[in-house]
Amino acid sequence: MIGARKTRRNDSRVIVHFDYDCFYASVFENENPALKSLPLAVQQKQIVVTCNYEARRRGLHKLALISEAKKIVPDLVIVLGEELGRFRDASKDLYRYLEGFTWSGKVERLGFDEVFMDITDIVDYNQNLLNPNDLAHSFFSLERNDPTVGFTFDATIFAGHTYPPQQMPSAISNSQGNDWLTTRLILGSHFAQHLRLGLDEEKGYTSSVGISTNKLLSKLVGNLNKPKAQTTLLPPYDMLEDGISYNAENTQESNVTMFIDGHDIGKIPGIGFKMAQRIRNHVLSRPPESGTGSGWGGTKESVTVRDVRLFPGMGPEMLERILGGPGVERGIGSKAWGLINGIDDTEIQKAKKVPSQISIEDTYGRLDTMPQVLKELRRLATSLIKRMHTDLLEDDDDPESGSGSKKRWSANPKTVRLSTRPRPPPNADGTRTRSFNRISRSGPLPSFVFNLNNGIDSIVERLVQECLVPMFKRLHPPHAVWNLSLINIGVTNMVETAREDGGGAGGRDISKMFKRQESTLREWRVADRDVPPDPVHGNDNNHHHNHQQAEPSAGDGAPNDDNDHDDNDDILASSEDAIYETQQNSIDDAWQEEEDDDDERPSCEICRRCGAMMPAFAIPAHERFHSLEQEEE
């Protein structure tokens, strides 16, 4: 107990964990609502990878063999889940929905069906808005800049379930000195409920939600009440003293300790299978008795967090000796000790606009001929290209395109990688050693992959024949004997392209800006060409009139004469004071269309050498261009 008490905590954050209920089955149910009332199982290979709650109510569990599942639930509806595209698309849609409510962008997806959100900044903001004299009639603001967007709530009670369960909803209490954290968790619970109900009503997906101060606790506490529910872990998170002395009688136990103590050590996120096995071996002073299908990492004996925490001498140093070794990160003992005490300072990663890599793979019982390999390469490459189109293409709203539905690449992967996993030859006794080792080859991704005018089939065939087959032959020479258990094709080394919002590796797409500027300023362009002088009349009034008309006459027909507009692409405005202000506004409008989020419109300047008008930031590069011209001369 003392060791846990001395471990430092940081509970300034508010973290929410969403776990979509029976996600894979729910995707099919959303596609076909008639399935919601039927027992439904999703099949991959010959296994039930998941099933809905109606099937679970009848005794079916995931990872059961299909043959066994049909015996348990004779009227079971089975759907194939081999193609992951529908799940990926649904997951991205739900992710975008949740991300739309954040201010910091700290939304992290874990697999297809889990999402972490750091809502600390939203809670900070709303905590400052609370009226302590009327907490029961509070308003939760969802936007900083619009106080009307939000919802009313009672800031004296938690939304949903709590741990420990409260007999009756109770108001904030100052007696234990936890009012600050309690208020923050109350705010987090109401915000989480708003999002959870929104997912159900607007998207048709239910979820189980946990609210606490780090990823570890929010994920674990969300498991307590499933499905369609949420749970908040109540303070105190530290052991509290009465201010006089420290002993068992006057110390209130931490709810974190009480909650996490009952979990098996292998159920703690961040403590993997091998780590849990080593800890069990040490606590039991022997390997745990193994079992099949048991719930504790393949053992019949559960070693709880409490068993580990109270083991004589247990602490960071002992865990370092148990878990450390060659190739293990330094400080693993302190990290594991923190997790055992409910401490997890891992940050929620900000949302990435594009993935770091995209890969497709499949496993095989036997794959040992080139025709089989070619068939699989084509199939996997087709899935890869479709994935790239799904994940990396975005709408191109460029008016020059002539179509609102035209697509553009948000990122270009530069490298393609082929990986295989050869099956080891059989041993002398006929058994085969299991191997997870992969071998890989990589190379530049051909540019034809990004051609959106060609069909997927033609791109796939070229990619297979010109790229993947040569890689495969370098991995497995033609005369060698091989038998593969896995093939993986992936693209990596993503380079983001310029985006309309100014993001991406290239920043604002300046080529688009100049195209729009060209279109906007076309009617104001003054063509630089010789024209006969205007006739001079003796009448002063006529002279004045002709002087007013001299500026347009210099470029007469230029705005409408498409054959002449290329004579000079620069905007010669330095001597045309009468139209300078209009040109300035037109350029600003072109920039404003390019990025509506800018608070300040960019100023424009005129090049002293050639008279071209351009944004101020482009002047240094433009002058450098003139300098290079002089050097070449």
Which pair of tokens denotes residue 469?
A: 């087959």
Question: Is residue 258 within 8 Å of residue 1, measured between CB atoms?
Answer: no
Which pair of tokens denotes residue 574?
A: 């330095």
Q: Which distant-in-sequence residues (6+ apart) come within 8 Å of 377 by Cβ?
A: 464, 468, 469, 472, 487, 489
Question: What are the DSSP calls for 573-588, one per residue?
Answer: -TT-HHHHHHHHHHHH
**What phi and psi values does residue 106 have, to the nearest 5 degrees?**
-85, 80
CB atoms within 10 A of CB 335: 22
Closest C-alpha among 203, 30, 184 to residue 121: 184
Question: Is residue 489 within 8 Å of residue 413, measured between CB atoms?
Answer: no
CA atoms of 124 and 117, how far apart (whole Å) = 15
- SS3 category, 631: helix
CA atoms of 290 and 300, how far apart (whole Å) = 6
Q: Which amino acid is at 189?
A: S
Cα dihedral: 626, 627, 629, 631 (round 10): 170
Please list the alpha-helical segments (H only) found in 79-132. Answer: 85-99, 120-129
DSSP letter assigned to residue 484 = E
Q: Which amino acid is at 604?
A: C
**Catalytically annotated residue among 29, 54, 108, 114:** 114
* End-to-end Cα, the chain, rounded Å: 82
b/e map of 174-197 (b: 16 or more CB within 10 Å)? eeeebeebbbbbbbbbbbbbbbbe
CA atoms of 419 and 424, how far apart (whole Å) = 16
Closest C-alpha among 505, 485, 487 to residue 496: 505
Question: Is residue 625 within 8 Å of residue 609, measured between CB atoms?
Answer: no
The single residue listed with the structure tokens 């908040």 is 232
Which pair of tokens denotes residue 344?
A: 């997890």
CA atoms within 13 A on the CB side of 196: 29
Q: Which distant-in-sequence residues (6+ apart) come within 8 Å of 598 by Cβ?
A: 591, 592
CA atoms of 298 and 600, how far apart (whole Å) = 62
Q: Is 114 known to be catalytic?
A: yes
Cite the active site residues.
114
